[in-house]
């Protein structure tokens, strides 16, 4: 299907520059896609790659990752051989493309100049952590010859800062010079760059503004999808039942250990599966291949450390048990119109508190079932431990918030330090009470109304919004 004139008139931006100056990182960060690869040898990117922002199949704008300049001086020399006035220079560039279309020598230049000559705005990327060099001038001059709207982005690959000298040089060639660190980018910075891009051409202001609004919506979509996956994880994990059949007369300890291990492994698998789904939601598919950086390999789901970082303290746990028990008890009081002299609430609080205290260590009872039916089996689950949902939820929220804020330009596997006070950032007393109501429901093993799951999703969504923004 061919595009109509209007449909093909969306803004395009070609990200160009010297090789290895972070073009791909910038594209990754702006397109929220970590699938941009960097070769181990520079100059091996020979094809432009398109990253369109699409809404229902309609492109709003397109980012193009291009190969770096390889023979800028030769191209400029060819262009300068043509003595033309400024208004005819773009024709010379077009002629260069036509003449050298099939010349492998100029493959990279052709790849990067073609979209520009087709109307793409220029985003020229330099590394502000390295000194300015005169070899860049040929590249900037070629771009000037194209006559297309352009801006420069100063990237900071390393710590050193040569921005001032870069700004002085770039200012002579580009309408706009901005600093952008794709490794530390956040939503605000992302939007600010998009706004700058829209300023390159008047016709681009509206589509880019629309794109910015869509990015906001896209963020919301990703947050509620993550919340949905986390809610599903908690619901499934708490209601999980693991069975193991056995033939011996007596139940052996090894069988009990086996069923427990199986139970724990299933929970670990569920957690990893959710982590993968969340990585996909946030376009961090590459983490799959590079070994997910955040699988908590060093911090097992059932470790003491995990419980101490993500779980509730004994005090909080008892308090949660007391309040949730008291709520149940209060229900009894309400049923009898207070004629129980509020004893229901008091008894509920004690029972809830005691249950919580004793429930800190054990995960679930191991029951022997099927005694009368001939085929006996051990059953573990649903989850009894009141702390477990908070540990699992804390880990899931921690993972999701880091994935959501991780720049797509990052390719390294981070050694993530666990913030010991992470829990304080998202869990307060009110939320804990609300969560506990749901955890109790999930732990019951009964069919849970979708509405309850939706409410639970809503609670997680609020937390993620607060953490991710």
Partner 1 sequence: MSIKSYLNLYQLQEQDKTTKEERRSFGLSYSGLQNKHIKQLTTWIESRYDTLSHPLLSETFATYLYGLTFVLVILGFLVGFFSGIALLSYNGTSPVNVVYFMAMVIALPLFTMLLSLFSMLKAQQTQSVLVHLSPAYWMEKILLLLPHRFQFDIEGLHINPLLSNWLVIKRSQFIALFFSIGLGLSLLMMVATKDIAFAWSTTLQITPTDFHSFLLMVSTPWSGWLPSAVPSLELIEQSHYFRLGDRLGEEMIKNASSLGEWWKFLVCATLFYAIFLRFLVYLLASFGFHKALEKSMLSMDGVRQLLRDINEPIISTNAEVRTEKQEIDISGHLQIALDMGNTYTIVQGWAMPEMTIKVLNDSLCITASFVYEVGGSNSLKEDSLVISKSKGTVLLYVKAWEPPTMDFIDYLEELVETVAKVIVTPIGTEENHYVTTEKSMKEWERKLATYDNEKIWLQRINAQIIEEK
Q: Which residues bind partner 1 (CB under 8 A)?
A: 18-20, 31-33, 35-37, 39-44, 49-57, 68-74, 77, 105, 108, 127, 130-131, 133-135, 137, 160, 214, 217-218, 221, 224, 228, 283, 446-447, 449-451, 454
DSSP-assigned letters across all residues of 406-441: S-TT--S---PPPPTTHHHHH--HHHHHHHHHHHHH
Whole-angstrom Cα Rg for the chain = 30
d(CA 343, CA 327): 12
Burial 107-138 (b: 16+ CB within 10 A, else e): bbbbbbbbbbbeebbbbbbbbbbbebeeebbb
Q: State the nearest-atom distance from the C-beta of 424 to partner 1, in Å.
A: 31
CA distance 192 to 325: 50
* Six token digits for residue 418: 């666990």
d(CA 237, CA 301): 12
Does residue 25 contact residue 183 with C-beta atoms inside 8 Å?
Answer: yes
CB distance 153 to 44 below 8 Å: no
Nearest-approach distance from CB 250 to partner 1, in angstroms? 36
CA-angle at 12, arms to 149 and 185, nearest 5°? 90
Question: Residue 130 or 167: which CB sits closer to partner 1?
Answer: 130
Sign of CA dihedral 25, 30, 32, 33: negative
Pick the closer one to partner 1 by CB: 429 or 449. 449
Q: How far is the CB of 219 from partner 1 (least distance, A)?
A: 10
Name which of 35 and 354 has its Cβ closer to partner 1. 35
Nearer to partner 1, 65 or 255 (CB): 65
Q: Which residues contact 67 (CB under 8 A, 6 or more apart)?
A: 19, 43, 45, 46, 47, 48, 107, 108, 111, 112
Nearest residue (CB) to partner 1, 39 versus 98: 39
Q: Helix axis angle, 388-405 relative to 429-443, nearest 10°?
A: 120
Min separation Cβ 175 and partner 1, Å: 24
172 vs 447, which CB is nearer to partner 1?
447
**Residue for token digits 């001086």?**
73
- How far apart are CB 50 and partner 1 at their closest, in Å? 6
- Return the axis-axis angle of helices 388-405 and 450-468, rounded to nearest 10°: 50
Instruction: State in angstroms the smallest separation of the CB of 27 from partner 1.
Output: 9
Q: Which is nearer to partner 1, 210 or 425 (CB)?
A: 210
* Residue 73: CB minimum distance to partner 1, A: 6
Q: Which residues of 208-224 are buried (b: 16+ CB within 10 A; e: fewer)?
A: beebbeebeeebeebbb
CB of 454 to partner 1, least distance (A): 6
Nearer to partner 1, 57 or 374 (CB): 57
Minimum CB distance to partner 1, residue 259 (Å): 26
Residue placing its CB nearer to partner 1 in the complex, 59 or 431: 59
């Amino acid at each position: 299907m061919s595009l109509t004139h209007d449909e093909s008139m969306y803004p395009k931006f070609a990200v160009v520059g010297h090789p290895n100056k972070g073009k791909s990182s910038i594209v990754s960060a702006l397109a929220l896609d970590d699938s941009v690869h960097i070769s181990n040898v520079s100059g091996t990117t020979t094809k432009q790659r398109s990253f369109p922002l699409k809404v229902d199949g309609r492109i709003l704008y397109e980012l193009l990752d291009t190969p770096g300049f390889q023979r800028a001086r030769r191209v400029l020399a060819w262009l300068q051989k043509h003595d033309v006035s400024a208004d005819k220079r773009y024709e010379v560039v077009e002629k260069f493309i036509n003449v050298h279309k099939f010349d492998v020598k100029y493959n990279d230049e052709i790849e990067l100049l073609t979209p520009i000559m087709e109307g793409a705005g220029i985003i020229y990327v330099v590394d502000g952590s390295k000194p300015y060099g005169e070899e860049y001038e040929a590249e900037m001059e070629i771009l000037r010859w194209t006559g297309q709207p352009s801006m420069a982005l100063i990237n900071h690959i390393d710590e050193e800062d040569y921005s001032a000298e870069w700004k002085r040089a770039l200012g002579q060639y580009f309408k706009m010079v901005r600093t952008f660190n794709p490794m530390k980018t956040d939503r605000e910075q992302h939007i600010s760059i998009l706004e700058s891009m829209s300023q390159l051409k008047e016709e681009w202001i509206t589509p880019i503004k629309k794109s910015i609004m869509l990015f906001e919506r896209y963020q919301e979509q990703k947050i509620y999808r993550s919340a949905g996956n986390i809610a599903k994880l908690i619901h499934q994990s708490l209601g999980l039942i693991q069975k193991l059949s056995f033939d011996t007369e007596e139940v052996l300890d090894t069988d009990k250990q086996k069923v427990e291990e199986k139970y724990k492994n299933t929970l670990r698998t569920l957690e990893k599966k959710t982590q993968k789904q969340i990585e996909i939601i946030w376009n961090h598919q590459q983490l799959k291949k590079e070994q997910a950086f955040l699988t908590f390999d060093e911090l097992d789901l059932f470790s003491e450390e995990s419980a101490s970082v993500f779980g509730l303290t004994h005090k909080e746990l008892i308090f949660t048990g007391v309040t949730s028990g008291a709520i149940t008890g209060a229900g009894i009081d309400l049923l009898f119109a207070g004629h129980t002299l509020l004893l229901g609430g008091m008894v509920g609080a004690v029972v809830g508190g005691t249950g919580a205290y004793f429930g800190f260590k054990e995960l679930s009872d191991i029951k022997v079932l099927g005694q009368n039916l001939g085929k006996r089996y051990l059953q573990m689950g649903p989850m009894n431990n009141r702390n477990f949902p908070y540990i699992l939820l804390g880990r899931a929220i921690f993972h999701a918030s880091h994935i959501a804020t991780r720049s797509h330009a990052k390719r390294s596997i981070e050694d993530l330090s666990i913030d010991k006070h992470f829990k304080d950032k998202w869990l307060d007393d009110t939320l804990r009470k609300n969560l506990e109501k749901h955890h109790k429901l999930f732990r019951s093993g009964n069919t849970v109304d979708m509405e309850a799951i939706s409410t639970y999703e809503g609670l997680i969504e609020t937390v993620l919004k607060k953490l991710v923004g």
